[in-house]
Amino acid sequence: MVSAKNTKILRGSVQYVPTSTTHDPPSGTCTSLTSDIQSCQSRGIKVILSLGGATGSYQLTSTSDAQSVADYLWNNYLGGSSSSRPLGSAVLDGIDFDIEGGSSDYYGDLANFLSQYSSQGNKVYLTAAPQCPYPDTYVGPALQTGLFDYVWIQFYNNGQCQYSAGDATNLVNSWNTWTSSIKATNIFLGIPASSSIPGYIPPNDLTSQVLPAIQGSSLYGGIMIWDRYADVQNNYSGQVLGSV
């Protein structure tokens, strides 16, 4: 199954996580996304397929299993070839690790195998969405490979390191730990666009308190917003984009 909920779209310095829409590859319904993906890419927007999520049972069982998964992703979603590509002629730009269950084993191997495909012409972007407690239980070891281009940290639904009641202390401390502990091209502040989600930062507080405290890091890349539906409803990005 391919879920649009787990497809992160890279757009400037604000990253969107769209609302959930599930497509079933065997029925061919995923090809309805082909032209949309290619349209985004024609505008310089990278489209990345996310693995994992908060529900379901999944894990890698060995290095050879990681190699098999990498081969499958390359041939069916990235720059390889297969007779059963779920998204048709669309070639995605990379793979996101949103690992929130199972085990942390062998995801570093998977990152390494995927990165090796970049030598075949199309760069494979590697991204990850860890929870803000450091180190992340599941994807933390993989991040130590230094292979990840973008890391969008989920500073929500995590009481010990998220913004709360006007206080950004825990968030900033966690941010500083992350940016001093892992190697990545850019690190993004992941925040919700809806006040119903724990960790919500009012737009004025984000621009006046939080961003000035984290933008000094050389790894700062912008913000990641959960999710696109809530952002449209609340115009969150429209209120903060000028400060990002």
Q: Which residues participate in catalysis according to the annotation? A: 100
Is the preceding peptide bond at 149 cis, omega within 30 degrees of 0? no
Alpha helices in 45-168 (DSSP H): 63-76, 107-116, 140-143
Residues 150/156/159/163 CA torsion (nearest 10 deg): 90
Interior/surface letters 87-114, b for 16+ CB within 10 angstroms, e for the rest: beebbbbbbbbbbbeeebbbbbbbbbbb
Query: What are residue 14's DSSP bridge partners?
Result: 11, 223
Both tokens of residue 178? 């992350």
- C-alpha–C-alpha distance, residues 201 and 164, integer Å: 8
- CA distances for 143 relative to 76, 110, 135, 137, 233, angstroms: 24, 11, 9, 11, 33
Helix, strand, or coil (residue 212):
helix
- The whole-angstrom separation of Cα 241 and Cα 180 is 26
